[in-house]
Structure 1
Amino acid sequence: MRDMMFFDANCQVGLPMNGGAATATIPALLAEMDRNGVDRALVRHINIDPDGAVVTNEELAVMLANEDPAARLCGVWCILPEQCHELPPPDEFFAAMKRQRIGALTLSPGAHRWVPSRLCIGKLMDAAAERRVPVILPNYSSRWSDLYQFMADFPRNTCILANTGRWGADRAIRPLLEHYEHFHVELSTYWVPEGIKDLAELYGPERLLYGSGFPELNHGSTMLSIRHANIADAWSRLIAGGNLARLLEGAQLS
């Protein structure tokens, strides 16, 4: 079915630093996208946790420049606390993002040993909010209280929760959707019967995003869920790719 543009909000690329079966080169990702009918993808480096933000940000930019000639992929850079000066000031950082085809931010405070609070990243997050740069939140499915505090600190930021957890997260994510208008949910591990339909009706289809979880998971699973969600075609198209495209196009990196 080629009646929808699918834009994947949750992919990782790279050779795992600590081993593991999930290996994703950019050519392998693009081939899998072609096999499943996925048009574009937002990608993070698979080694952000063990290898650190600075190194993986640089490596991802090189990978995208050298291995994605059709520019179907958009990168995600990881942020760190401002006080250690490992990243440039916000104006320089966002200008570099634009040059390197990076469209969103992420963070991994547990692995990188810092507290995701306004004290640590307030200036950078405020600059991201002003520029409407999306922030991917990938590691919160077992730490809901931390996520609630993060959203309370940064209610103006466009945030996308990736990996909701596979055993039902509605009681955790629905209050966030209700109270924070810029909070979005990526659906790769949202496996709730009739759940997509219910969330779309309650909070709007604009808040939901197609994602695969590649390479741990495959592209087709969430595609099937969206196609059979029993919602209007226009809503399906938004969730499949329209929402993410709108969020990334709305960012003002310069």
Structure 2
Amino acid sequence: MILDAHGHLGPWPDFLIPDPSAVGLVASMDRLGIDAIGISHLLAVGPCAEEGNRLAFAAAERHPGRFGVWQVYNPHQRNRLTRDGVWGVKIHPDVHECRLDDARYDPVWELGLPVLAHGQTDSPWSDPARFATVAGRHPGVPLLLGHAGLWPHGFARAAELVSGHPNVYLEICGSRMTGRWIARLAALLGADRVVYGSDACFLDLRVGFGRVALAPLDPAGRALIQGGNLARLLKGRLP
């Protein structure tokens, strides 16, 4: 099973997204052999978490088994969260301008579900060091460090910072990621702590999938990264 941990639907004002639709994303998944992708709606990441989450749930209902929902939590809007019918929670400290380790995110950790969070090296909001802080406070919460820190100069540091926190996983989507870096991160942290994501439809699904499909990994490591690790984290939340 190939599982993409990091996907989106909808438009975003700062970037051209040629096809932000669920239908287009499923068509790309079918061409590549991707079984399911975790989505958050970009409307939820941006101005309206409640309505964006509603749109994500509706897309998942129209395409059963293909989309897992990362419900977005906005600490300023304090929108409702659920344990049912979701993969977990998505947060974006940089868009929210709220530090990952800020108490305003406590409702997310208290839920106990897997969390996918934007991670960005040198950001005041989401530097990987903050992931280590949160992981120490909430060791039972699976935490995906989005983009593995985003910038190549921080990839190895991100792996080092979270190495002692087994509940943190590096999610490897991003336009600066390469197949060689995916293999290096697997060697530094262990292939069982690296999770494939593409950032589609924000980024091209073909490119994101190609990086991990062609990375210099052994078959067992590739299988873990492409879906085995995420399937283990979701603990029966897959169809």
1:34: how far off? 0.9
- Shift of the 171–15 alpha-carbon distance from structure 1 to 2, 3 Å rule, reads closer
Q: Which structure 1 residue ranges, 4+ long, deviate > 6 Å from structure 2?
A: none
**Which residue pairs with 1:71 in the alignment?**
65
For residue 33 of structure 1, the aligned residue among 20, 29, 32 is 29
Q: How many residues align?
A: 230
Aligned equivalents of 1:138, 1:85: Cα separation in 2:
18
Structure 1 residue 21 corresponds to structure 2 residue 19: no
Is the 1:6–1:240 Cα contact (8 Å) retained in structure 2?
yes
Q: 1:86 to 1:224 in 2, by over 3 A?
A: closer
Counterpart of 2:177 in structure 1 is 191
Deviation at 1:39, TM superposition (A): 1.3
Name the CA distance, whole Å, in 2 between partners of 1:139 and 1:195.
16
The CA deviation at 1:125 is: 0.6
- In structure 2, what residue type is equivalent to 1:74? G
Aligned mate of 1:50, from 37, 46, 52: 46
| C-alpha spacing 1:229/1:57, structure 2 compared with 1 (3 Å) | same
What's the offset of the Cα at 1:11? 1.0
> Unaligned 5+ residue runs, structure 1?
none
Contact persistence 1:125–1:154 (CA under 8 A): no
SS at match of 1:169: helix
How big is the shift at 1:198?
A: 2.8
CA distance in 2, matches of 1:71, 1:162: 23
Deviations along 1:12-45, one digit per CA (max 9) or x if unpaired, are 10244x4752141111110011122211101111
2:70 is paired with a residue whose SS is strand
> d(CA) in 2 for partners of 1:20 and 1:230?
31
How do 1:1-254 and structure 2 match up within 5 A? 5-16=1-12, 18=13, 20-22=15-17, 23-65=19-61, 67-68=62-63, 70-81=64-75, 86-88=78-80, 93-95=81-83, 98=84, 101-128=85-112, 133-143=113-123, 146-155=127-136, 156=139, 157-163=141-147, 164-165=149-150, 167-189=152-174, 191-192=177-178, 194-249=180-235
Contact 2:155–2:185 (8 Å) recurs in 1:
no
TM-score (norm 1): 0.78
Identity %: 21
Describe the shift of the 1:115–1:19 C-alpha distance in structure 2 as closer, same or farther (beyond 3 A).
closer
TM-score, structure 2 normalization: 0.82
**Whole-Å Cα distance in 2 between the matches of residues 216 and 64 of structure 1?**
18
Instruction: Please tell me the root mean square deviation across aligned C-alpha atoms, in Å.
Output: 2.7
